[in-house]
Structure 1
Amino acid sequence: MAQLFAVVDDSYGFGNDGMVGMVSGIGAIIGASLMKKRPLIASLLLIVTAITGFYGLSVFYIIPGIATFGVGIYLLVKRNK
């Protein structure tokens, strides 16, 4: 288990960037669960997780990042109407 999260270059682990991507995915799930109760907090959380997820996983987070970012923007716009 310790090798899975190793930072060494020649190991087969996630490293720090992979951990950022995993935490972003978990944050997006939490933000999605808050959409009905607290739309402002959910929208900010979804926007932040889209940006950090793209930073952490780059190419692998393009489609989920666009979807998450779009929902976050939609919640901000919907809240202001």
Structure 2
Amino acid sequence: MLEEIGSYDAKTKLPEILRRVEAGESFTITNRGKPIADLIPSRAKSRLKAQSAIANLLKAKKPIIAEDDLKELRESGRR
């Protein structure tokens, strides 16, 4: 169950609440005891992490050079 927080507390403690949401916590914001909104961690953050990881893997991947191409490169470097 999401932790409930009143709208006034949400307003006055917003930076703290956002840090907690970034850490993975979720909240239901209430107004006079009535649930109004759910504050949950963004899925975009995990998507960006995945994209960054894929980019790093692709960057680290070494190209495979065929033996004939390698020989040609060696020969062209000696001219």
Q: What TM-score results when the alignment is normalised by the length of structure 1?
A: 0.34
* Structure ranking higher on relative contact order (CA contacts 8 Å, 6+ apart): 1
* Bigger helix share: 1
Q: Whose radius of gyration is greater, 1 or 2?
A: 2
Q: What TM-score results when the alignment is normalised by the length of structure 2?
A: 0.34
* Bigger strand share: 2
